[in-house]
Amino acid sequence: MSTRIGILGYGNLGRGVECAIRQNPDMELVAVFTRRAPETVSILTDGVAICPVAEAAQWKDKIDVMILCGGSATDLPTQTAEYAKYFNVVDSFDTHARIPEHFANVDRAAKEGGHIAVISAGWDPGMFSLNRLYAGAILPEGKDYTFWGRGVSQGHSDAIRRVPGVKNAKQYTVPVPGALEAVRAGENPELTTRQKHTRECYVVLEEGADAARVEEEIKTMPNYFADYDTTVHFISEEELLANHSGIPHGGFVIRSGVTGWEKENKHVIEYQLKLDSNPEFTSSVLVCCARAAHRLAMEGGVGCKTLFDIAPAYLSVKSGEELRAGLL
Amino acid sequence: MSTRIGILGYGNLGRGVECAIRQNPDMELVAVFTRRAPETVSILTDGVAICPVAEAAQWKDKIDVMILCGGSATDLPTQTAEYAKYFNVVDSFDTHARIPEHFANVDRAAKEGGHIAVISAGWDPGMFSLNRLYAGAILPEGKDYTFWGRGVSQGHSDAIRRVPGVKNAKQYTVPVPGALEAVRAGENPELTTRQKHTRECYVVLEEGADAARVEEEIKTMPNYFADYDTTVHFISEEELLANHSGIPHGGFVIRSGVTGWEKENKHVIEYQLKLDSNPEFTSSVLVCCARAAHRLAMEGGVGCKTLFDIAPAYLSVKSGEELRAGLL
């Protein structure tokens, strides 16, 4: 069974989905929907329609799963529920605090439309969430830690770019090695925000800008930097492009807990990601969730799901027999 | 909803299940079944029946899930299918090559009995298998590696104890650090058996035994040691008891793969376990699978399942709302 995919929104994430589809022989890209003028958008795959987003609903019988590749701030809160009326949909909604509300809206729309919607797929939320769930179910008496990085935070990079005098910037979130080691050793430390992560900023100044003032403004910026140990490196635009144009990310989910009648035995479960491309990894998760969404829909399923609600076998192209013989 | 649990077989694993039940307020231990004379068996929990295994079937309306804590060599191949006639069951069957056959037998019996059976729960098979599945679904173009250790292999320790002149022994399986580092770096090395793990043996000799001959016999033992770099340490019985009486284990599942139109981006997914007690960790997985088995059965499910077939949320005591608000 092949799954016909539509991509809605063609930025880094949409392009990542397009690349991931090529790596999965059971997936077929049939159309890309864009808010830009379609003739100005060029994609990588030959023979795929590029359509204005307003025409999406007309494709409802030609697409098995629509992957929504917009942003969590303004696109997905309305798009996912809207398109769940016409399609099985998958999104990577990642505003953790608003997930319950998003779930409720999308669940209602998907049930009305008779479709499956998978939300918040990716790595955090996504694979990190799954690992928090599994580890907590196995070791009910324990403590969870999530560390992010070393990797580029788009939100923090944008915040630096808004400081007057800054021409360009890239911000890396970096786990504190000592904190990570203490957690791994099962010491269950209490860690403040400052003790878990540091922030490294690579900044290109506008001609004539005051470096000391810019540095001070960055380091004291509330929410973004004030609670962290932040270092600011001023570099040239050439150096930024040469050494900081990638979007790597990753991180660690660690749970340490105890078992035994006297809680005498300690266990540490660690899940770690090292990603050259944050959006391409997220896209790869979206594509296997699209496979699951299609299968769930074929079985008559409706409503909103997260990775928590999907039996792992639905994500894999392999059959139950193949999985049991080869991977169990 | 509380789940009434029976334990069949009271060795390390059965005792581990008993301890894990105490850590899960929604789980209740109601009876332990043993092949020994019940009056010779003492358990940790007050007020729980200890019964001869022959009486198990009489408990079929008083137990929601029977956790089978026998061995994979001779117990589980017959027990799991047998008890699936009367109960929802969970086992930790770990003979990888015979899983398809075990699954087929248990599936037939569970369907006839109208029950849910979860087989091969634990960490390998179990959590390691899940991680192989998820990582392979996300990164279809890549390579899987599983390393075990540092930990005690019961089978290899037993093999050493069968060598004439050996009074007692403990064997540790140890991943080769350089191999692990190459895999983590995404180098996708081709590794032979010898390049992945070494074997460390701590051996207590019988009075007057020939150490050189014993060492030679261990190191050249086919299947167990001949394909590995093996070191043999002769120690006193006191030292063995003092320093090697635990049963720690653990290991690593690592997949490295590529994404991007030109496969230009590399990603490494790593899952790692560090366990003070191998059987207690396995038991903890069995207990959350018992929760899932009970829920699946309440929904009318029947037949054999593995962790591949169970939506993660079924393993957790938390509701869907709590999971989405707190862990996603």
Q: How far is B23 from chain A (nearest CA, A)?
A: 7
CA distance B125 to chain A (A): 5
Using alpha carbons, select from A75, A80, A91, A98 the residue that is nearest to residue A17.
Answer: A91
Are the Cβ atoms of B310 and A311 closer than 8 angstroms?
Answer: yes
DSSP per position, A175-235? E-HHHHHHHHTT------HHHHEEEEEEEEEPTT--HHHHHHHHHT-TTTTTTSEEEEEE-
Look at chain B and count its residues: 328
User: For tokens 């909604």, what's the residue?
Assistant: A93
Is the CB of A273 less than 8 angstroms away from the CB of B269?
yes
Asked if B140 and A24 come within 8 Å (Cβ–Cβ), the reply is: yes
Minimum-distance CB partner of B313 among A186, A266, A308: A308
Instruction: Say if the Cβ atoms of A96 and B328 lie within 8 Å.
Output: yes
Residue A163: its pLDDT value, please?
96
CA A274 to chain centre: 13
Distances (CA, A) of A150 to A197, A272, A282, A289, B263: 9, 12, 16, 26, 22
CB–CB contact B320 A309 (8 Å):
yes
- In tens, the pLDDT along A223-244 reads 899 999 999 999 999 999 999 9
pLDDT, tens only, A24-34: 999 999 999 99
Mean pLDDT, range A115-128, rounded to an integer: 98
Task: For residues A268-288, give the mean pLDDT.
Answer: 98
Q: How confident is the model at residue A1 (pLDDT cuts 50, 70, 90)?
A: confident
- DSSP letter at B206? P
Range in B153-157, B239-243, B280-284 the model is least confident about: B153-157
> In angstroms, rounded to a whole number, what is the distance separating the alpha carbons of residues A166 and B60?
72
Average pLDDT, chain B: 97
Q: How far apart are CA B79 and CA B198, in angstroms?
A: 35
Q: Do B315 and A133 touch (CB under 8 A)?
A: yes
Band of pLDDT at residue A114, cut at 50, 70 and 90: very high
pLDDT at residue B1 above 80?
no
Instruction: Give the mean model confidence (pLDDT) for residues B214-236.
Output: 96
Q: Which residues of A touch B133 (CB under 8 A)?
A: 312-313, 315-316, 323, 327
pLDDT for the residue B313: 98
Tell me how far apart the alpha carbons of residues B107 and B157 are, in angstroms, rounded to a whole number: 34
Task: Grade residue B116 by pLDDT with cuts at 50, 70 and 90.
Answer: very high
- Is the distance from CB of B66 to CB of B83 less than 8 angstroms? yes
Q: Which residues on B lie below 8 Å from A18 (Cβ)?
A: 261
Residues A192-215 have a mean pLDDT of 96
- Average the pLDDT over B120-147 and give the result: 98
pLDDT at A313 over 90: yes
Average pLDDT value for residue range B56-77: 96
Beta carbons of A313 and B308 less than 8 Å apart? yes
What pLDDT does B165 receive?
97
Instruction: With cut-offs at 50, 70 and 90, classify the pLDDT of residue A121.
Output: very high
Q: Which of B99, B140, B316 lies nearest to residue A23, judging by beta carbons?
A: B140
Residue type, A138: I
**B18 chain-A contacts, CB cut-off 8 A:** 261
Q: Is the distance from CB of B65 to CB of B90 less than 8 angstroms?
A: yes
> Rounded mean pLDDT of A81-97?
97
Taking the C-alpha atoms of residue A125 and residue A286, their distance in angstroms, rounded to an integer, is: 12
Q: So what's the pLDDT on residue A44?
A: 97
Out of B18, B127, B312, closest to residue A308 by CB? B312
Q: Return the pLDDT at B301.
A: 98
Which of A23, A275, A315 faces B134 most closely, judged by CB atoms? A315
Q: How far is Cα B108 from Cα B113, in angstroms, rounded to an integer?
A: 9
Q: Provide the pLDDT for residue B138.
A: 98
Q: Which of A309, A313, A317 sits opposite B313 (nearest CB)?
A: A309
Q: Which site among A19, A138, A274, A296 would you substitute to test the B interface, given the most B Cβ atoms closer than 10 Å to its Cβ?
A: A138
Contact check, Cβ <8 Å, A309/B327? no
Q: What are phi and psi of B267, to 5 degrees?
A: -140, 140
- Cβ B269 vs Cβ B163: under 8 Å: no
Residue A189: what pLDDT? 95
- A327: nearest CA partner in chain B: B129
Mean pLDDT of B139-161: 95
CA distance B316 to chain A (A): 5
Helix ranges restricted to H, chain B: 12-22, 76-83, 99-113, 127-138, 154-161, 177-184, 193-196, 211-219, 237-243, 278-298, 320-326
From A324's Cα to the closest Cα of chain B, the distance in A is 6
For residue B130, give the nearest of A281, A309, A312 by CB distance.
Answer: A312
Q: Which of B44, B129, B288 sits opposite A327 (nearest CB)?
A: B129
Q: Which of A47, A129, A126, A52 is nearest to A92 (CA)?
A: A126
CB contact under 8 A, B276 and A266: yes
Work out the pLDDT band at B60, boundaries 50, 70, 90.
very high
- What average pLDDT does range A146-154 have in this prediction? 95
Which chain B residue is nearest to residue A13, measuring alpha carbons? B260
Residue B280's closest CA among A123, A317, A140?
Answer: A140
Tens of pLDDT, residue by residue over B238-264, are 999 999 999 999 999 999 999 999 999
Chain A positions touching B321 (Cβ under 8 A) are 100
Under 8 Å CB pairs connecting chains A and B tally to 215
ipTM score for this prediction: 0.96
Average pLDDT over residues A263-270: 98
Q: Do A24 and B284 touch (CB under 8 A)?
A: no
Q: Which of B119, B4, B113 has its CA nearest to residue B59? A: B4
